[in-house]
């Protein structure tokens, strides 16, 4: 399963983990950088496009999809 891990870039605190969203679209042509960012802003409430980023990854079968980030 493809998932997107969203982070907020803060100049003082560094990168802050926001959460994870799973990819569910069947039409691969609809998946663009802009569509994923817009989706992340909608769910995590960040309106500044330049301050939010994501990492696309494949979730292994033995991993939990919504695990909290490791402590700093």
Average pLDDT over the chain, rounded to an integer? 81
Q: How far is CA 69 from CA 16, 24, 38, 65, in A?
A: 9, 22, 22, 11
pLDDT in tens, 14-27: 888 988 898 888 88
- What mean pLDDT do residues 5-22 have? 89
For residue 6, give the nearest of 47, 30, 41, 50 by alpha carbon: 41
In this predicted structure, the answer to whether residue 59 has a pLDDT above a threshold of 70 is: yes
Phi and psi for 61 in degrees, rounded to 5? -60, -30
Beta strands in 1-72 (DSSP E): 2-10, 14-22, 52-58
Q: Where are the chain's structural domains?
A: 2-50
What does the alpha-carbon distance between residue 9 and residue 27 come to, in Å, rounded to a whole number?
A: 30
**45 pLDDT tier (thresholds 50, 70, 90):** confident
């Amino acid at each position: 399963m493809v998932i997107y891990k969203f982070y907020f870039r803060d100049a003082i605190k560094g990168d802050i983990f926001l959460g994870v969203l799973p990819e569910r679209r069947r039409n691969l042509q609809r998946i663009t950088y802009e569509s994923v960012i817009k989706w992340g802003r909608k769910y995590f409430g960040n309106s500044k496009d330049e301050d939010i980023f994501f990492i696309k990854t494949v979730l292994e079968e033995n991993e939990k999809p919504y695990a909290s980030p490791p402590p700093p």
